[in-house]
Amino acid sequence: MPKYTSQGEQEVKEFKLLEKGNHELEIVEAVEKMSASGNEMIKITLEKDGAKVTDHLVFTPKAFFKIDQLRGALGEAVNKGEEKEVSPSDLLGKTVTAMIDHEDNDGKTYARVKYYVKKGADTPF
């Protein structure tokens, strides 16, 4: 039979949902993982005023556009055909602007990154 150590009563943290629209967000976590289909990916957590949103950078040709968007939002030059290594440690603490949208899942509403905004612009990369 499984055992655990009780943590006692704890304060319930209120879930903060970012409003739809452009937000400046800090990358507070970036971790290399494998996707469910076995592809390399980096799971990033972005935060603004205590509200967090998670995004996944999946390293497959169909999803390279999102990595290009993020790099453009970071102010990096993105050159067609360039092979680039992306390290989670290079992302931590950086600030980007992202268009936030909402999605419903199991009766709950979550914030998601619709796209990243090119540094110095109001539109997607």
Residue 8: predicted pLDDT: 76
Show the domain range for 109. 21-77+86-117
pTM above 0.95, yes or no: no
Banded model confidence at residue 11, pLDDT cuts 50, 70, 90 = low
CATH number of the CATH domain containing 92? 2.40.50
Domain count, the chain: 1
Q: State the average pLDDT for the chain.
A: 91
Residue 29: predicted pLDDT: 98
Task: Report the distance separating Cα 24 and Cα 11, nearest Å.
Answer: 28
Q: Is residue 124 part of a domain?
A: no
Looking at the chain, the whole-number percentage of residues with pLDDT higher than 90 is 80
Task: Report the distance separating Cα 74 and Cα 72, nearest Å.
Answer: 5
Residue 94: predicted pLDDT: 97
Closest to 25 in 3D by CA, of 52, 7, 1: 52
pLDDT digits (tens, 9 = 90+) for 17-38: 999 999 999 999 999 999 999 9
Closest to 21 in 3D by CA, of 98, 120, 108: 98
DSSP H helices, the chain, are 64-73, 88-91
